[in-house]
Structures are given as structure tokens and as C-alpha cells.
Structure 1
Amino acid sequence: MLDASTRQQVKATAPILKQHGVLLTSHFYQRMFQHNPELKNIFNQGHQHAGQQQQALAMAVAAYAEHIDAPEVLLPVLERVAHKHTSLGIRAEHYPIVGKHLLASIREVLGEEAAPDSLLDAWGAAYQQLAELLINLENSLYQRAATQAGGWSGWRPFRVVNKQVESAEITSFYLQPADGGALPDFQPGQYVSVQRYIPEWGLCQPRQYSLSDAPGKGWLRISVKREEAQGDAPAGKVSGQLHAALAEGDILQVSPPFGDFVLHQDRATPVVLISAGVGQTPLLSMLRHLLESGSQRPIRYLHAARHGQVHAMKQEVGQLAAQHPVLASTVFYECPQDTDQLGQDYQRAGRIDAEAIREHALLADADYYLCGPQAFMQQQRSQLRASGVAATRIHMEVFGSNAMASD
């Protein structure tokens, strides 16, 4: 436990971190990659170029400073971060490197007057406390992943046994261990990381993709959206390469499944799954597991897409709804095209709004699982809360570098 003086010094920097945090974290990443370029193979360079990683770290550092008196408040968030880290292969030996560059960046950005030795000493102790918390969480996750039946540690080669185009933007890849070994029973909702070499950058790059099929099969399925360039954001390097260059028979390096956004299988409550775009992938895993395990929990499946050409897994979900009376599916098209037929391809035009929530999603004591763009999930959460749904019944996935976001 940190002493009172150390906690006070760290806590006093929270307003400064909120104001100048992105400047500090941008300097930190530049400094770290300059001195330790090997870490570029672990960190998502697409998020670096877009500024997402810098923003996320700034939020994380400020949140830690604010809660330094009771860091256990952040434990649920730290557990989420630990899952992200283990999926990417971040190990205990990386923490001293990060700490060294973080402390140096505080001095270099804020200056010696605003960041005297006493403050750096306080932040050094605080960082060590945070590092120990995360290392312990991550070691437990690594051990569990490696020792379970069919488990492994680090990267494992998988062979693409099937590549299936799901829509104009999304393609599914069915993966089996190249070594012919067994697979672990992951929890519905979890994700894996895949690693690809990007020639333009001269780097291997990891990306995390939700598992979109139920556990207990002879494969892992990921369903990948090809990220096109939008405004200042460049096209996705890894997703584009997977779509264009990864063929059946090819080898892909894959991490063990991780993630804390999972189906609560210990409950008999109704389940409501609400998604937008590629956000349906972890929810499909939950849906298929529920139905294939014979669960009689009532299920509502609400999915939003822009139009039919980008609506993935339409036939798959439609067949499941026809076969299982416990499932009611409602599809929303924001901008239906002339070829999209109301009542056949989709049930409602427009977005999933408060009226749609009241009509299609409100079930007594249900658990609600949300996945999609951050703004979409926040809107659905607000609408559910306004309709009387308890916060403890609402579960949200968090994409990419924003692992410190809280439900």
C-alpha cells in the first residue's frame, strides 16, 4: 500500500493529466518506440496512427491517479485490461520498459519545475503498484489458458479450412490447429488475437477478433470486417490483408481465447442480444451456444445494419429463428435499398430507438448484451436504463484500445 504522501502527490496530478494527458502519452509512445522499436510488434500501429491508443492511455492514467486511494475500485476495469494484454502477449518483462519511458515522459513534457524528483518518485511507486496488480492478473490468465484441455501459451499456428464471404464487408474464417491438436472450450463472447506481417510497415501486427461461433466444435470462427479508409483514418492494414490475401490452406498465428464480455451461463434469465454491424460476432457465439445447448431461456435478437448488402449472417440467424421458438429476431435497416424487402430481409426501417426497445427488447429480469460502435452501445444503454433496466443487467463489449472504458 502506498503511503499517504505518495497517494496525495499522484492524486494531485489528475487535473493536469486530464488537461495534457494526450500530449504526455503521445510523447511517451514516440519515446518508447524510438528506444524499444521491438514493441511495435505488440502495439496496434493502426490505433497509434489514428490517436486511439494515446487517448486511451491518457484516460487510463488519469483514472488511476483519481482512484489512487482505493485502486480496488478499478479492479473490474483492470481485469478487462489484463484480458486484452494476455491476448496480445504482453508479459511481466515489458512493464519495467513501459515504466521507464512513462516516468521520463512526465519529466520531459511537464518540465522539471512541474515534475520534480519527488513527484517522479511518487509516480514510480504508483506505477509499480499498478504493474504488480496487472502482472498478477495476467499471470493467472496465462496459466489458465495454457493448462486447460486443448490450451496453449503465446501464438499457435492455425490453418484456414474455410473462408466464407458473409456480406460486402465481412468475411468469416474457420480455423483449425495446424498441429492437429485439440481446442479449448472458450466462453461465448470471447475473442482471439491473430498476427500478420505487414510488409509496408516491416512489422508483425496483432488484431483482436471475436469468436463468432459456439464453443465445442472442431474449429474457431472469426468474422472480420474489412475496414475502409474514412476521412483521416486509413484503411485497416490487417483486415484488408486478411480479406485479400488469406486463403484456404494458409496458416494464421492465433492467441488463446480471452475476454471478460461473456454470456452468464449460471443464470436462467431471458437473454436480449443487441448489436450493430460487425458487433454481432460475439453475440452470435452466445446465441448459437444457447440454442445448441438446448437452453429454454427466452431470447430476443435485435440487429442493426445499414442495408442488405452489408448485413452479414442474415441467412444463418434467420434459420436459427425458424428452428427455435425461444428465439425472436428483429432486424433494422437504417437505409434500406430498393432490393431490400421489408418483412423478408428486415423488419423495421431506421435505427434501434427507444420505441423499438420497448416493443422488442423489454423482458422481465432479462440480461442485455450490447456490442457495436461505442456511440451505439452508449445509446442503447441509456435507452435501457430509461426503460427501467438495472445497470447490473446490461453488459457491453469494449473494442480496440479503449479497454479502460467502464460500463
Structure 2
Amino acid sequence: MSTYSTRLIGSELVAERTMAFHFEKPADFVFRAGQAIDLVLPTVEENGQAARHAFSLVSAPHETRLSIATRLRGSAYKEGLHALAPGAGVQVDGPFGSLTLHKDVARDAIMIAGGIGITPFVSMLRQVAQQRQERRFVLVYSNRRAEDAAFLDELLALARDYPGLRFIPTLTQADNVPPGWTGRIGRISGALLAEVAAQAPIYYVAGPPPFVEAMQDDLCRHGADEDDIRSEGFYGY
């Protein structure tokens, strides 16, 4: 990995208690959609050093900025990140990570996201939509409430505009569904996984570690080859 110095451009709320942060993209920074960075904050100290945290990039490689998104928790790191003013300097280590799209476009990609685990998939879908790649995707996106679903409007728009994408959002709190909700209600079930199954797909799973482990087990129980499942657990989000 390489280390780059950059600056915050700005931030925005993308869901309840969830912020996206946008940074200047160093001229020589090259990455693949779905990869991650370590974001180092000189204003926060951990164990005598500047604090760092790993984030999947939500921006796509063709974009002119680097963007991450995270839930706002009560940690010193998250408070320091939230307090950054536009123009504040940070460091980026990376890119790293292997949760990137397979090259065989004949094989469908089935993406399963829990909460903020959506970020690498937004990066991937922005990239393939911009390139107008002719390939098929299914994205299943689970949140407790619609207010928690980061990038929901963007993903709905992508599904309308990009013929290769089937988008299935689902809410797990059945008593908290907003009027007009057109997605699913309930946890991701074996029946849903069987419904979205395709011929020899590659599965991608991202979210909190318990969610990732449960989805991997369910996929294997429903016939998926574990060699065709790629996953990333999001710790500390």
C-alpha cells in the first residue's frame, strides 16, 4: 500500500446517523471498485499514534473524489471524523481488498448487503453503470428501517436506468414500514435467496460480521459453492 495526503472537500447526511465524507483524490491514486482504504486522522490519537480506520470506498474509480460513508457512533475516531472542517488534512493508506467484481460477465453477480455494507456495492454499480457494461446484477439490501438505508434513492434510480440491475430492498422492522414502501419486508430468507439464484452466479456479501456469517451459511445450505462466495465483514461500524 501507499500513503497519500489529501483534504476533506465536504460531508453530507446519507441516512439517519450516517454520513458520507468526500476527499480530494490524489492524482496518482488508482483503485478498483469495491476496494478499501485506511483513513488516518492526525487530530485523533490512539496508542500514541494518529488514529486510523478501514473504510470501503463508496466512490467509483472514474469519479474525481474519494468518498466513504459510515454510521456515526460515539467513538473518539468517529467524533473526530465528524468534526473535520472542509480543507482539513488527512492521510489515506491503500487501496487494498479483494471484494471486486469478477471478470466473467456471463456469470451473474448477486450482492447481499446489510446496513452500511452497501458501500462497496455502490462503488461497483456506479462504475458498471457509467461504463454501460452489459452484465446482470441482483442487489439485496437489508436494513431495519428505511431511514437507515444509505444511498437508497440512488440505488432505486440506478435500478430504473440500468437494465442489468435488479434491486431488492428489504426492511426487517415490520412495524416501522413507511407509507408507499414498495420493497420487501422481513429478514433475508432462504426463499428469497432461492428466488434470486441464477445459473452459476458469484455471490458477494458485506455487512456486520454476524450478518455476513449468517448469509454465507444460508447460501451454502441453498446450494451455493463456498468458492463462489466473496465476503467482507464490517467491524466497528
Fold conserved between structures, TM > 0.5: yes
Q: Once the 2 structures are TM-superposed, how far is the Cα of residue 295 of structure 1 from its aligned partner? A: 1.4
Compare relative contact order (CA 8 Å, sep 6+) and give the higher one, 1 or 2: 2
Distance 1:342 1:387, change over 3 A: farther
TM alignment of 1:6-405, pairs within 5 A: 142=1, 153-154=2-3, 156-177=4-25, 181-196=26-41, 197-198=43-44, 203-227=49-73, 235-243=74-82, 245-336=83-174, 338=176, 340-344=178-182, 347-359=183-195, 361-400=196-235
More strand as a share of residues: 2
1:258-304 Cα offsets, whole Å, 9 max, x none, are 11222213443111110001111112112222222211111101000
Larger radius of gyration: 1
Please tell me the residue identity of whatever aligns with 1:218: T
Q: Distance in 1 between matches of 2:103 and 2:20?
A: 26
Distance 2:151 2:58 in 1: 10
Task: Say which SS state the counterpart of residue 167 (structure 2) adopts.
Answer: strand
**Could you list the per-position Cα deviations for residues 80-123 of structure 1 after superposition, in whole angstroms to 9, with x for gaps in the alignment?**
xxxxxxxxxxxxxxxxxxxxxxxxxxxxxxxxxxxxxxxxxxxx
- Residue 162 of structure 1 and its aligned partner are, at CA, apart by 2.9
Superposition CA RMSD, Å = 2.1
Q: Which residue of 2 aligns with 1:68?
A: none
TM-score after normalising by structure 2: 0.90
The 3 A distance-change label for structure 1 pair 219 and 337 is farther
How many Å separate the matches in 1 of 2:111 and 2:141?
8
Letter in 2 for 1:268: A
| Equivalent residue letter for 1:166 | V
Measure the CA separation in 1 of the matches of 2:221 and 2:209.
18
* Alignment gaps of 5+ in structure 2: none
For this pair of structures, how many residues does the alignment match? 235
Cα deviation, residue 339, structure 1: 6.2
- The whole-number CA distance in structure 2 between the counterparts of 1:200 and 1:257 is 22
Distance 2:106 2:79 in 1: 40
Q: Does the Cα contact within 8 Å between 2:7 and 2:89 map onto a contact in 1?
A: yes
CA contact (8 A) 1:183 1:218 kept: no
Cα distance 1:199–1:185, how it changes in 2: closer, same or farther (>3 A)? closer
Report the alpha carbon displacement of residue 386 of structure 1 after superposing the two structures with TM. 1.7
Cα separation, 1, equivalents of 2:13 and 2:174? 21
Q: CA deviation at 1:400?
A: 4.5
**Please, which runs of 5 or more residues in structure 1 have no aligned partner?**
1-141, 143-152, 228-234, 402-407
Structure 2 distance, partners of 1:389, 1:199, is 43
CA offsets, 1:312-344, max 9 Å, x none? 111110110111121111111111565613544
TM-score (norm 1): 0.54
Question: Which structure shows the bigger proportion of residues in helix conformation?
Answer: 1
Identity of aligned residues (%): 26
Counterpart residue type for residue 59 of structure 2: D
